Amino acid sequence: MTFSLQTLTTLNEQFAHPHLTFVAVEGDLIKAQLRYAERAGVEIHLQGAHVTHWQSNDGVENLFTSSSALYQTGVPIRGGNPIIFPQFGAGDMPQHGFARNARWRVLDSTSSDTDTRLVLALTAADLNEKQRHAWQHAFVLTLTLTLTEFTLTSELQVQNTDVVPFAFTFGFHTYLAVSQITSAEISGLAYLNYMDNLLEKQILTEQRPRVLIDRFTDRRYQQIPDEIFLTDTATGRTVAMATSGCQDAFVWNPWATAEGGFKDLTPGSYQYFVCIEPGCMRKQVMLKNGERFVAKQQLKIQLTS
Ligand code: TA6
């Protein structure tokens, strides 16, 4: 399959509307600016189909993107909401697979009274030779982003267009912004088993009704519920994360202990985000040829007055 390259000009000619514009980013990257209502908006980089900013209609930024993030072809952006596929974490391929490094194409965008949408896709034809070689399967990944006043929904569809089955892991690697990490409380994880990457991968059970982040944290919680809540006790804001098709969720914060290992994190940044990352990481998803798999993450802002 071959496609013609979507340039800034052709993207704007074909898809732009009053709530969608494509703009150039440093280097040769392109991002989409999608809006809904007066102040709700998202920025999505075509590289990685990566949401780097999400402002809800109260004008508040809900995602953390590093001020030292790199915007270069083939380099993942630190922060926001990367899509991880077909390998979460380390393995045969480079860390976290290729979907976050590859340039996705725009399929469609709509704008109505109820929401604004953008649909992006990635296929084997969009990969470079090294990536195609590392994962020799025919597939179509489709990401539909839907924006309303206070919600951002990411629906990821994986379609096996190959003649043989394939298996993969995936995740929404969501960097949620907090005013101060010590004000962050996560609920919905009580009594779940988790694998602690920092304690020799031991399987432990979460005993706390509300999980506080007070140290370097890198855990994979198992059999997550349909909703997880992140409350910022300093602002009274809660992000309700509703998911489907996701078995696990990583909770990650490098703390001062480990953030120095990330050259694209400005010192002290660990205080302003926590990653909650729903997906299927423990067990691979098996997809027969011709089959589709769908996973969804909806982020909804709840305000306490
Ligand atoms: O949160 C899961 C995780 O794989 C962590 O182990 C941590 O290293 C993080 O993602 C960041 O990974 P990255 O490849 O983006 O540097």
d(CA 196, CA 58): 36
Indicate if the pLDDT at residue 305 is higher than 90: no
Q: In what order do the strands lie in the sheet with 151-160?
A: 105-111, 116-123, 139-147, 151-160, 292-303, 237-244, 227-232, 184-187, 210-212
pLDDT above 70 coverage of the chain, percent? 99
Ligand 1 atom having least distance to the Cα of 89: 4
Place of tokens 């996701």: 246
Ligand 1 contacts CB of residue 73 (under 6 A) = no
Q: pLDDT digits over 84-107, tens only?
A: 999 999 999 999 999 999 999 999
Q: For position 113, what pLDDT does the model report?
A: 97
Give the CA-trace dihedral at 127, 130, 136, 137, to 10 degrees: -10
Ligand 1 contacts CB of residue 89 (under 6 A) = yes
Q: pLDDT digits over 153-197, tens only?
A: 999 999 999 999 999 999 999 999 999 999 999 999 999 999 999
Cα angle, residue 298 at apex, residues 193 and 140 outer, rounded to 5°: 95
Give distance in angstroms: CA of 239 to centre of ligand 1.
Answer: 21
Give distance in angstroms: CA of 22 to centre of ligand 1.
Answer: 29
Ligand 1 contacts CB of residue 162 (under 6 A) = no
Neighbours of 27 (CB within 10 A): 12
Dig out the tokens for 184 from the structure. Answer: 């962050």
Ligand 1 contacts CB of residue 218 (under 6 A) = yes
Q: For position 148, what pLDDT does the model report?
A: 98
Q: pLDDT digits over 55-82, tens only?
A: 999 999 999 999 999 999 999 999 999 9
Ligand 1 contacts CB of residue 94 (under 6 A) = no
Q: For position 27, what pLDDT does the model report?
A: 77
Task: Note whether 256 and 230 are within 8 A (CB).
Answer: no
Q: What is the Cα 36 distance to its own chain's centre? A: 20
Of 125, 71, 80, nearest in space to 101 by CA: 71
> Which amino acid is present at 136?
Q
Ligand 1 contacts CB of residue 225 (under 6 A) = no
Q: pLDDT digits over 96-150, tens only?
A: 999 999 999 999 999 999 999 999 999 999 999 999 999 999 999 999 999 999 9
pTM over 0.75: yes
